[in-house]
Structure 1
Amino acid sequence: MTTTTAITPELRAWIVAQAEAGFPPEDVLAAMKKSGWPEDVAIEAMESTLTEHLKAKGRPIPSLELPEPAVEDGSTCLLADGHEVKVLMSMQLPRVIVFGGLLTHAECDEMVELARGRLTRSETVVNETGGSEVNTARTSDGMFFARAENALCQRIEHRIAQLLRWPVKNGEGLQVLRYRPGAEYKPHHDYFDPVHPGTPTILARGGQRLGTLVMYLNSPVRGGATTFPDVGLEVAPIKGNAVFFSYNAPHASTKTLHGGAPVLEGEKWVATKWLREGEFV
């Protein structure tokens, strides 16, 4: 079976119908594979069909230009705004990079203290409306800093912009989360699924999310890894380190399904930076 002969009008119509019915892309892909479609054919069919469908609807298509550190030459130490950052691990699919020493311990402690008094129960995006709500899949406390809200945020945002070669204005404000013992964030995607009715409202503020940077503000005693179930990857939450991943399309072929494993002992504090394709307002 080849891609050319397999992607029939009937298959395209079925993919669109599943998307319009609200089924997540990963579920559609799983259904196609279960029915005997080779994974590469299924992914190609979904990519081309949904792209054409979004264009026909006049809805935005994500840019292929992505935030990316200067690691083309195999560098293991990068200079970002005068701060040395180590490259501890790099992976292509999913595009994941683990950084060592992105934040100093003093910066981690300061951010925790600035955030501590403003924590509330974390919410997740409501795909149907573009709003947010408390969800049992996310059992952390959190808060958002406005972009450049204080000197610490401004310094870290400029460091991230230089490290990932992405404009400060295209980043959301830093979000700080605290996970108590037993708290977790079940596997999810950070991009905004184009098939959901609330997505245009979200995209109006800066376009699609293209990348995520999770910075660890402390080291829990046990548990709390950032997990990527599709590839069996677990990133340990080490104070000052960070994990970055990007996604060039809003569907499961990017293999960026990820979660926060339950904290087994102690607390876990993280700061997250999401990067948009346009200016975030």
Structure 2
Amino acid sequence: MDFGNSLALSLSFLFLLAHLSHSAIQLPGWLGDKNTQESVLRLNKGAFTAPFDPTRVTPLSWHPRAFVYKKFLTDAECDHLINLARDKLELSMVADNDSGKSIKSEVRTSSGMFLQKAQDEIVAGIEARIAAWTFLPVENGESMQILHYEHGQKYEPHFDFFHDKVNQEMGGHRVATVLMYLSDVGKGGETVFPNSERKMSRSNEDGWSDCAEQGYAVKPRKGDALLFFSLHPDATTDNKSLHGSCPVIEGEKWSATKWIHVRSFDKPSKHENNGNCVDENDNCPIWAKNGECEKNRVYMVGSEDSYGYCRKSCKVCSS
């Protein structure tokens, strides 16, 4: 699935979720009738997994686009992911803006490790559910990263899209992030968006840390998942997606992150293999004919930071 189509589907579906979360509409055969206690839409993979229930999704912000899914994971799934990672943690790294290499930094002081894709039935089931929620294919996702924050540990505000071209060579920019909270936190550990349009908006709930006051914040609650987009629908980077993990003040924080790219992260694209002048979508000739080379230039042709997907049809390269 290409980025243009998959992102459009994601946005359409999320608008549906936003509507469902504030209405009493039932979808027969999917969400069940009034006597059904939970969604009947279940995924085949994964033991003791939660059903996929779009009525649990609430939109938080449109700039950046952010949504929270209450109890996306079961307690058993959370505990399982922690147990897979507990004895394999290493100091977390960050990507160097120039070289793209992973380096140590005081900006990020947690510890973590990466699971393998579909490492077991539980992990595969969670990955499938993420794909169902985001409408972005499983192959566009990186391996899930499990993170552990102890007292005082944090991740300073940063972007999930890349500033270097090295990291963009595999799968392009990260378009979306699904952040799953695996534990409750006594105090602190919030996810904060300093540039959010809702920066001055705050719930009446007590217990926010000083760090959370710097922007719109989401409290870590075991089983909840936060989805936010790092790119606009036209594939340009969204500076309002700046986000950070506030220092843990009481207790500890466990989380799981799934980064999702604009195209497959499992294999390089055609133009990355040999530099040929190609289209990466069968619809490119039609889109070009309809003027998308100018209307949606970043996606179709590319920019300094990203390679276009319809360069042949837009006639900006030679076959």
3-state SS of 2:13 partner: coil
Q: Distance in 1 between matches of 2:12 and 2:115?
A: 24
Report how many residues are paired: 215
SS at match of 2:125: helix
Name the structure 2 match of 1:70: 13
2:245 alignment counterpart = 260
Counting strand residues as a fraction of each chain, which structure ranks higher?
Answer: 1
Q: Distance in 2 between the 1:177 and 1:165 partners?
A: 25
Per-residue CA deviations over 1:101-138 (Å, capped at 9, x if unaligned) read 11001100010001111100000011211210111000
- Residues 98-117 of structure 1 aligned to structure 2 (within 5 Å): 98-117=68-87
Compute the TM-score of the two structures, normalised by the length of structure 1. Answer: 0.71
Please state how far the C-alpha of 1:230 moved relative to its aligned partner. 1.1
Question: What is the CA–CA distance in structure 1 between the aligned matches of 2:13 and 2:237, rounded to whole Å?
Answer: 26
Aligned counterpart for 2:66 among listed residues 96, 99, 111? 96
User: Aligned residue for 2:166?
Assistant: 201
By how many angstroms is 1:150 displaced?
A: 1.9
Partner of residue 107 from structure 2, selected from 128, 134, 137: 137
Q: Which residue of 1 aligns with 2:218?
A: 235
Shift of the 259–251 alpha-carbon distance from structure 1 to 2, 3 Å rule, reads: farther
What's the offset of the Cα at 1:72? 2.4
1:146 and 2:106 correspond:
no
Alignment check: 8 A CA contact 2:194 2:242 kept: yes
Unpaired stretches in structure 2, ≥5 consecutive residues: 22-30, 32-38, 44-50, 200-215, 267-319
Residues 171 and 87 of structure 1, relative CA distance in 2, 3 Å threshold? same
Return closer, same or farther for 1:203/1:80 CA change in 2, 3 Å cut-off.
Answer: farther
Question: RMSD across aligned C-alpha pairs, in angstroms?
Answer: 2.1
Three-state SS of the structure 1 residue aligned to 2:77 is helix
Q: Distance in 1 between matches of 2:247 and 2:42?
A: 32
**Residue type of the partner of 2:252?**
E
What is the CA distance between 1:164 and its match in structure 2?
0.8
Q: 1:254 offset after TM fit, Å?
A: 4.0
Percentage of matched positions with identical amino acids: 37
Structure 1 regions of 5+ residues with no counterpart? 1-61, 194-198
TM-score (norm. length: structure 2): 0.63
The one-letter code sitting in structure 2 at the alignment partner of 1:91 is: S
2:218 corresponds to 1:218? no
Q: Deviations over 1:130-167 (max 9, x none)?
A: 21011100010000112112222111000100111110
Q: 1:140 to 1:72 in 2, by over 3 A?
A: same
* Residues 230 and 237, structure 2, Cα contact 8 Å, conserved in 1: no
Contact 2:161 2:237 in 1 (8 A): no
Measured in 2, the distance between the counterparts of 1:214 and 1:258 equals 12
**Cα separation, partners in 2 of 1:237 and 1:114, compared to 1, 3 Å:** same
Residue equivalent to 2:138: 168
- For 2:265, the equivalent position in structure 1 comes to 280
**How far has the Cα of 1:220 moved from its partner?**
0.9
- CA contact under 8 A between 1:80 and 1:163: conserved in structure 2? no
Provide the rounded CA distance (Å) in 2 between the counterparts of 1:260 and 1:191.
Answer: 16
How far, CA to CA, are the matches of 1:154 and 1:131 in structure 2?
A: 28
Structure 1 residue aligned with 2:231: 248
Higher relative contact order (CA 8 A, sep 6+): 1
